[in-house]
Amino acid sequence: MIENETPGTAAARLTGCAVSSERPLSGAVTEVALDGGQLVIVKGDTAPGAVRAEAAGLRWLADAGTVRVPAVRGMDEHWLVTDHVRTGPPSARAAARFGRDLAALHASGAPAFGAPPPGGPTDAYIGLAPMRNVPATDWPNWYAGQRVLPYLRRAVDAGTLRHTEATVVERVCEQLPRLAGPAEPPARLHGDLWNGNVLWGADGHVRLIDPAAHGGHRETDLAMLHLFGCPHLPEVLDGYQEAAPLAPNWPDRIGLHQLFPLLVHVVLFGRGYAEQTLSAARAALAG
């Protein structure tokens, strides 16, 4: 970062527009008003590659022409400037449209499981946790080796999960070829699709923010919507199924797909997510 640079001065430098005001929102996120009244969101991040990963993810999702995302207005190694989203109340109609659009996003595909967005780094992030994007052709082995076991090891090494507790997650990984359901092609995932990253636009269209985009299994995005709740989720799922029916018994696999984000939460936030993680693992084995 340029020494003593504020989000406002960064926005002016990266957009070429004068700034009239700035208002901190949360953490490293600031709302900045450009001259002329347009609002942008400025995020600062010093983690290597984090801004490049997020910007590449936003552009990759936008290129699909399906679910809407804020446009990238400017970026460098440490700052990302995107359009501001004016929000409104969630509605069943917007939820059904979102479901159809999300199905179309997934169907736009990816070169491989674990493939990063074009121009995105191999070493990316999900939230504040490092996440490696290493392409593979086989989903069960990739999901176990690149999405579940790395975070399980970190949790055990930190003492957040006990060795005896980790065995149930390891059994899920061993049995993934049986538990994974019918084979599917790589989907273009948002990758961090919890409710906080779903913005209900005032114009009736959902926008997605803060992606951890990569090629993956489409049920993973849907499992994360279930994990922390989403307004009008039944309507979202109805819209999705209308556009692209899911494989039989997909609800039985929700716990399987939630293991990745839950283990990330164990690593980032501690023991409070341990029992939920173990319950998801047990549900996956039962399914």
Catalytic residues: 192
Backbone dihedral region of 4: left (phi > 0), alpha (psi from -120 to 50 degrees) or beta? left
Point out which residues pair with 144 in neighbouring strands.
none
As a 3-state breakdown, the chain gives helix, strand, coil percent values, each rounded to 5, of 45, 20, 35
Point out which residues pair with 124 in neighbouring strands.
131
Please say whether the dihedral angle defined by the alpha carbons of residues 169, 173, 178 and 179, taken in this order, is positive or negative.
positive
> Distance between CA 36 and CA 17 in Å, rounded?
9
Contact 39, 17 (CB under 8 A): no
Can you say how many angstroms the Cα of residue 259 is from the centroid of all Cα atoms in its chain? 14
